[in-house]
Amino acid sequence: MIRRALAALSSFLLLAALPASALAAPAPSGLDQAINNAFAPVADIVSWLVFHPVPIGFGASMPFVVLWLVIAAVFCTVYFGFINIRGFGQGFRLIRGDFSRPGDTGEVSHFQALATALSGTVGLGNIAGVAIAISIGGPGATFWMIVAGLLGMSSKFAECTLGVKFRRINPDGTISGGPMYYLSQGIAEQRPRLAGLGKVLAVVFALCCIGGSLGAGNMFQVNQTFQQMQLVSGGANSVLAGNGWIFGLGMAVLVAVVIIGGLKSIARVTGKLVPLMALLYFACGAFIIVADFANVVPALQAIVSGAFTPEAGYGGFIGVLIQGFRRAAFSNEAGVGSAAIAHSASRTREPVSEGLVALWEPFIDTVVICTMTALVIVITGMYQVEGVGDGVQLTSMAYASVLSWFPYLLAVSVFLFAFSTMLTWSYYGEKATCYLFGESRPVSLAYKFVFCAFVVIGASANLGVVIDFSDAMILAMSVPNLIGVYLLAPLIRRELRSYMARLRSGEIRDYRKTPETA
């Protein structure tokens, strides 16, 4: 199975590296169409492998990877004693800095680690992904997105705890961490007989992470940014129409300027963009909800009733649930393992503390921001209007139905969301590449060049092709990652029990209440 997965991923990487002429594509009409025709077969193969349907009874089926994520999220929630609920308050106190001990090993604070990881998750999945879920599954998909977000908090806790537990501190003080390290080192330490499996899983994860960085963290972002820019500049009559590659080229240059400078350059930019984009988008959504507050309760009723009583009966119920969980996983990445790469650099000596900080990510990303987007779409009723479109266009029209000028503001928000996400995911992909081929400048530069090339491809490809590829690659990361979480779950629970016991006894000091004076 692992050999087949590696072979499939290797085939994808080889196909992606081939020029368009090397792929048997139909005669193109324009460069955009040529790029799309060349890339579509690759997306189809990867999507089929990841979303292969699994029968779940009553004639219904669910994509394997969605079922895999749901089961893992439920397992982590129960196995760790509903840590998503009981650890919520302590996570907030950690983010606030109450337990930050001066001199602890790491590169960034709890808050900075959270902000960095959020810059990778709070992106167009919150804008376009929600719209796609509602347009396919109806308002009820929102309910299951929220459920998935709440359960995903436990998955995020587990993987980020492991990220700190098995991180590597480099001679220059920098940190290397993430699933690659706890799959290889953690499994070898805790389950020596499975050391070989751990190394294979680490390699598979790294390959999937590279694909995820090029898909969900790159192509999907630039594709939806281009769609919004084209919409506000004239739609079909825009000068951008049919010239996505030109927009992609410009975006690639902007990305290159930042990522060539390395992590410090990325951190400086995302540290400023994340608060700005979140505040901007949240303020607009809150204004629309307050302005049409009378329709909030009916919208919530539509969301709840649509989750359990869809028109299509049981089959429709499964379809709504699948869409909600699929879009939530794409948005908050709980169980995928990507955030563990960022959280590994946190300044702490307690692995569990970073897990508690990380569980706030799905809450902010999915429960708060995605729900706000969904409320606006349902309140305005734009998802029921024919010809509006899907993805970011549906969200744009929903907001524009209340604020006529909003599409222009959304264009700015979309750009900021996409740009910050692309920067963070370029770092994730770079770390995965360096894990496979060694930490060196030539390896880093080669990956960054490929990343920028995929910016152009993403702007030129059709939305359907981009969504299939993006979902497939980012969700494929969850397979090796969650195998590692299952194998190391007893260790996580021991760490959690020890942390909570020492917290109750006062051994773990609250520096906000009792500052260190010595």
- Alpha-carbon torsion (230, 233, 236, 238), positive or negative: negative
User: What is the pLDDT at residue 182?
Assistant: 93
Q: Is 16 in contact with 218 (CB distance < 8 Å)?
A: no
pLDDT at 423: 82
- 49: buried, middle or exposed (CB in 10 Å: 19+, 13-18, 0-12)? middle
Mean pLDDT by 10 residues, the chain (518 residues): 36 33 38 64 70 67 79 94 92 83 73 75 68 75 83 93 88 81 92 92 91 81 76 65 72 78 63 70 81 82 75 53 69 83 86 91 84 82 63 72 74 76 86 86 86 82 64 82 95 94 83 62
Which string of b and e fits 486-498 if b means at least 16 CB within 10 Å? ebbbebbeebbee
Where is 63: in which H helix or E strand?
Answer: strand 60-63
- How many helices (DSSP H) and strands (DSSP E) are in the chain? 25, 4
All residues at 6 or more sequence positions from 294 whose CB lies less than 8 Å from its CB, including other chains: none
d(CA 297, CA 292): 10
Nearest to 459 by CA among 416, 415, 410, 412: 415
Q: What is the DSSP letter of 96?
A: H
Q: Is residue 403 within a helix (H) or strand (E), and if so which, with residue range?
A: none
C-alpha 284: how far from chain center: 23
H/E element, 416: helix 406-437
Nearest partner of 422 among 180, 220, 160, judged by Cα: 220
Give 291-348 as a DSSP string: HTGGGHHHHHHHHHHHHH--TTHHHHHHHHHHHHHHHHHHHH-TTT-THHHHHTTBS-
pLDDT score recorded for residue 82: 94
Side-chain-facing half-sphere of 178: CA atoms under 13 Å = 28
Backbone angles phi, psi at 229, to 5 degrees: -65, -40
Instruction: Map tokens 């995929």 to a residue.
Output: 454
Query: 449 Cβ partners below 8 Å, 6+ apart?
Result: none
What is the value of pTM for the model shown?
Answer: 0.78
Residue 497, both tokens: 């029990």
Q: Which helix (H) or strand (E) holds 117?
A: helix 110-121
User: What distances in angstroms separate CA 484 from CA 205, 207, 280, 489, one per listed residue?
Assistant: 10, 16, 38, 8
| CB 84, CB 151: distance < 8 Å | yes
The separation between CA 283 and the C-alpha centre of its own chain, rounded to angstroms, equals 23
Is 73:152 a contact under the CB 8 Å cutoff?
A: yes
* 422 contacts 221 by C-beta, under 8 angstroms: yes
Query: How distant is the alpha carbon of residue 113 from its chain centre?
Result: 15
- In angstroms, the CA 491 to CA 144 distance is 30
Q: In terms of Cα–Cα distance, which of 110, 121, 75, 89 is closest to 420?
A: 121
Nearest 5°: phi and psi at 57? 100, 160
pLDDT of residue 174: 73
pLDDT score of 490: 95
Amino acid letter, residue 216? A
C-alpha radius of gyration, the chain, whole number: 22
**pLDDT score, position 26:** 34
Q: What is the number of other CB atoms lying within 10 angstroms of the CB of residue 21?
A: 9
Q: What's the gap between Cα 464 and its chain centre?
A: 18
Terminal C-alpha separation, the chain: 57
pLDDT of residue 105: 75
Q: How far is CA 301 from CA 58, 68, 375, 379, 498, in A?
A: 27, 29, 11, 11, 43
The Cα–Cα gap between 432 and 465 comes to: 24
The answer to whether the beta carbons of residues 493 and 500 sit under 8 Å apart is no
Query: In 10 A of CB 313, how many CB atoms?
Result: 10
CA–CA gap between residue 372 and residue 281 (Å, rounded): 10
CA 180 and chain centroid, separation = 17
